[in-house]
Homo-oligomer: A and B are copies of this chain.
Amino acid sequence: METKYNMVKKAIKSKIIDGTFTPHQKISSESELMKQFDVSRHTVRLAIGDLVTTGWLYREQGSGTFCADRSALDTKQNVSNQKNIAIITTYISDYIFPSIIRGAESRLSENGYQVSIFSTNNDHENEKRILEKILSQQFDGIIIEPTKSAYSNPNIGYYLNLERQSIPYIMINAYYDELEPISVVMDEEKGGFMQAEHLIKLGHKEIIGCFKTDDMQGTKRMKGFLKAHRHYKIPLNPKNIITYNTLEKWSKPIQELEKLLTTNNPDKATGLVCYNDELAIKLLDVLRLNNIRVPEDLSIIGYDDSTLSEVSEVKLTSIIHPKSQMGRDAANTIIDLISAKISTKNKDSSQVQSIVYSPDIVIRSSTKDLNPETITS
């Protein structure tokens, strides 16, 4: 124990124990210590290195070496030194969710996080079960895609508990309005507006809108749909709005659309705005069976710009959804939140902000220009 670096070590350690150095206080720099103890920098670094690995000090490049807060260390949890993130999603396999998950997973694993995935199957009971499980373990952060975001959430208590335990979480695709969480979402209302606007500008007057209304996306897209009609002063026939929920997604929209299109009324619709591409593709089938040509007889516009929009014989005009970019941004945001939490001196984590994507439209061949003066390509 009579080595030089051990003497330095013991000297610093005593000053911590007797309270000369208080937690988060900066200790002398390496060059100062060199002079104080008349040793080389190598020896100082050896001593400090040992004290860092045993949890007495921590170093910050550029700033200095600081006394650690050993009371916080007593939580003793993070033995494994393993960084964990949970992703809670409604569905794992359906539609665009895999792309979102993939984007998040790639970015998180790049940053050394391990990703655990849970799916609620859009059921609040499952969501509750998952949140209980997550709260009983130690996760560093959580990315949540809300379940039935249009309805009020019965599991608010669990989310508040996350905040109490200061576990960072963010919401993607939608959010529970009551919580006002940090979120990564699209401007869905504008997206819905753009869907309708596109058809209106092409000269369509009678437009059917078909929206899922048990999540936030659907209700906001519908809101945008209505707004566009008001904005362009197009009267909107209430009959032209079809709403459905998750359970009805393979039945009600199809039936309602067939009803609308087979009755012989004078002002038959020429446009169809769909909640998403999945629905649009399904309705394309219905139209084909009813000998309605797209886009000659009916223009149809989807949402999400999913892979589905390019597999059919009629390529869908659609609203672009960031998908994997959204996943990556969600990952970045949660990583920022976690590091903001760790750097305790900077309590101001309000730097981390929500992201809202402005939608964009991709025009393919499913929408037809009705304006006589315009030259269609």
Listed in ascending order, the chain A residues whose CB lies under 8 Å from chain B are 49, 53-54, 77, 79-82, 91-94, 97-99, 101-102, 105-106, 109, 114-119, 121, 133, 137, 281, 288, 308, 311-313, 324
Contacts and interface: CB of A to CB of B under 8 A. Distances in A.
A102 B98 CA distance: 10
B281 A311 contact: yes
B93 A114 contact: no
Nearest to A87: B117
Nearest to A323: B93
A97 B93 CA distance: 8
A47 B353 CA distance: 38
A53 B49 CA distance: 11
Contacts of A117: 101, 105, 115-117
A94 B105 contact: no
Given A92-B102, A93-B101, A82 B137 contact: yes
**Number of copies of this protein chain within its complex:** 2
A288 B53 CA distance: 66
A306 B318 CA distance: 23
A350 B57 CA distance: 42
Nearest to A101: B92
A70 to B, nearest CB: 13
Given A77-B80, A311-B308, A102 B91 contact: yes
Contacts of A311: 281, 308, 311-312
A298 to B, nearest CB: 15
A312 B116 CA distance: 35
Nearest to A315: B285
Contact of A119 (B77, B94, B102, B288): B102
Contacts of A118: 105, 109, 115
Given A93-B102, A105-B119, A106-B119, 13 more contacts: A77-B79, A92-B101, A92-B102, A101-B117, A102-B119, A105-B118, A115-B116, A115-B117, A115-B118, A281-B311, A288-B313, A312-B313, A313-B313
Contacts of A93: 98-99, 101-102, 324
24 contacts: A49-B49, A53-B53, A54-B81, A77-B79, A92-B98, A92-B102, A92-B105, A93-B98, A93-B101, A93-B324, A105-B117, A105-B118, A105-B119, A106-B119, A106-B121, A109-B118, A114-B116, A114-B133, A114-B137, A115-B118, A116-B117, A117-B117, A288-B313, A313-B313
Nearest to A53: B53
Contacts of A77: 79-80
Contacts of A312: 311-313
Contacts of A116: 114-117
Nearest to A104: B92
Contacts of A288: 313
Contact of A98 (B49, B81, B94, B324): B94
Nearest to A307: B308
Nearest to A314: B313
Determine which residue in A54, A93, A115 has the highest number of CB atoms from chain B within 10 A of its CB, and name it: A93
A129 to B, nearest CB: 9
